[in-house]
A and B are shown apart, each in its own frame.
Chain A
């Protein structure tokens, strides 16, 4: 069984846990008051990303992740539900030109919006899950012929599944790790015999970064009252 299969299963389990936690937590929350200083309007963050390509697709078979950077802005809409904007760039090198074509490296830039739920929030630790709902990615492929550079673009729609773990240094400042699974839907036209190879570009993103929380209430604190 492929790694993608296990990741899809893991995502499903996470999603089930996520919804279980939503309902159980909302019940618990109705019985106990949330401490006022745990409520936040949102945060801004910056992170270093280590992409790791995976899967039986042109990205997993032909590319190797090098590094990347990500900037995020997150707003808590209501209680633990949040919306997140992501902007980033990642760098990849080609490990097998016979799979991808004659180029040497790829610069991937992307932006997407995610919706998520923070299922654990304490004074020291916060954890949350998110799924991308809309986003675009652009793969700039660099090729060199006798040191002369040329390039080519591929476009895709972002599909991202993420989980984060924050360690709060104080009530505003946190360091965190983030795991993301990206399985972008590509818009590449290819001969039918290699269509399945170029349908998706998948990779894991393991990130470490810093967050600055702000505000002390949600965007819509009284929406259900």
Chain B
């Protein structure tokens, strides 16, 4: 009995610990056209199809099923393996010049007709890097709390069958970067990426004074922001 139990455990381990197997005898096509905010085609962008996307207990479990590049007209047409998985995702990577687009679908529940995933027109926005420098000029021991509110560079669209699920999708939403400066760390030089032409809110509070918000438009590929307190 004990031997049988051990055999069962070992068999289970062999079955469950082996490399994953994608759907047999199936290929899919992922197609579409990638354009910028002015509807101009973007060539040479990487389009990748993943399964098991997302982390489990911090471990990266994703597998690449297929990949290809957009051509000079921005058109992509990628032949790929297929996997029925909740973490099935197509990524159009903006290559640090443009925003990123993610198409997510639970392929356990739905497989498109004719095994073709047509993303149609994927619009990506040009990116800007905001380099910020906050330094201390006063001699007093001041505390400065600050935050930047700016547009995220990722657009994740979650689909239920062929309808977009607005509640789960997060497309170029606002995100925050905040920190507290004090006598131990009075200065900071850092950067973040956001959409070119978007508005950034800079909010700060000096000691217990009232919160102040300033806004600026990111109108350059490399935008410099300096602040002293």
Contact A143 B114 (CB under 8 A): no
Contact A101 B27 (CB under 8 A): yes
With A188-B25, A191-B114 as contacts: A101 and B79 at CB distance below 8 Å:
yes
Contact between A101 and B21 (Cβ–Cβ < 8 Å)? no
Q: A148 — which chain B residues lie within 8 A by C-beta?
A: 19, 63
**Is B45 an interface residue, CB under 8 A from the partner?**
no
- The residue that A194 contacts in the complex, of B63, B65, B79, with Cβ under 8 A, is B79
Establish whether residues A143 and B27, one from each chain, have CB atoms under 8 Å apart when the complex forms.
Answer: no
Contact between B116 and A97 (Cβ–Cβ < 8 Å)? Answer: no
Assess the B68–A98 pair: CB atoms within 8 A: yes
In angstroms, Cα B115 to Cα A97, docked, is 19
Among the stretches A25-33, A47-55, A151-159, A200-208, the one at the interface with B is A151-159
Interface size of A in residues (CB-CB distance below 8 Å): 28
The count of A-to-B residue pairs whose CB atoms sit within 8 angstroms is: 81
Give CA–CA (A99, B115) in the complex, Å.
16
**B134 to A: closest C-beta gap in Å:** 37
Q: Which residues of B contact A100 (CB under 8 A)?
A: 79
Q: Is B106 on the interface with A (CB-CB < 8 A)? A: no
Known: A102-B81, A150-B22. A194 touches B66 (CB 8 A): no
Q: B95 interface residue, CB < 8 Å from A?
A: no
What residues of B have a CB within 8 angstroms of the CB of A102 in the complex? 49, 64-67, 80-81
Chain A, Cβ-Cβ closest to B60: A146
B151 to chain A, nearest CB (A): 30
Q: List B residues 21-67 near A (Cβ within 8 Å).
A: 21-29, 49, 60, 62-67
Which residue from A145, A146, A194 sits with its C-beta under 8 Å from B27?
A194
Q: Across the interface, which residues of B come within 8 angstroms of A165, CB to CB?
A: none
B67 to chain A, nearest CB (A): 6
Band of interface residues on B: 20 to 34
CA of A148 to CA of B17 in the docked complex: distance in angstroms? 12
**Is A151 a contact partner of B79 (Cβ separation < 8 A)?**
no
Give which listed residue, A99, A149, A153, A193, contacts B25 with CB less than 8 A. A153
Which chain A residues in 136-189 approach chain B with CB under 8 Å?
141, 143, 145-146, 148-155, 187-189
Distance A155 CA – B49 CA, assembled complex (angstroms): 23
Question: How far, in whole Å, are A145 and B116 apart by their CA atoms in the complex?
Answer: 23
Contacts of B29 in A (CB 8 A): 190-191, 193-194
Name 5 interchain pairs, CB-CB below 8 A, sorted by A.
Answer: A99-B79, A101-B66, A143-B65, A149-B19, A151-B22
Q: Which residues on A sit within 8 Å (CB–CB) of B62?
A: 145
CA distance A193 to B29 in the complex (A): 9
Supply 17 further A-B pairs (C-beta < 8 A) apart from A102-B64, A152-B24. Answer: A97-B66, A98-B78, A98-B79, A101-B79, A101-B80, A143-B22, A143-B64, A145-B63, A152-B23, A153-B21, A153-B25, A155-B24, A188-B27, A190-B26, A191-B29, A191-B114, A191-B115
Shortest Cβ gap from B73 to chain A (Å): 16
Q: How far does the Cβ of B45 sit from chain A's closest Cβ, in whole Å?
A: 14
Known: A190-B27, A191-B116, A192-B114. A152 touches B64 (CB 8 A): no
- Judge whether A97 and B67 touch: CB under 8 Å: yes
What are the residues of chain B within 8 A of A97 when measuring CB–CB?
66-67
Q: What residues of chain A lie closer than 8 Å to B20, measured between beta carbons? A: 150-151
- B64 neighbours in A (Cβ, 8 Å): 102, 143, 145
Closest to B50 in A: A145
Which residues in chain A, 61-106, are within 8 Å of chain B measured between CB atoms?
97-103
CB <8 Å contact, A150 and B27: no
Q: Which residues of A contact B115 (CB under 8 A)?
A: 189-191
Instruction: Give every chain A residue within 8 A of B23 (Cβ-Cβ).
Output: 152
Chain A residues in 8 Å Cβ range of B66: 97, 101-102
A65, chain B: closest CB distance, angstroms: 21
Q: Count chain A CB atoms within 10 A of each CB in B49, B67, B79 and give the residue with the most.
A: B79
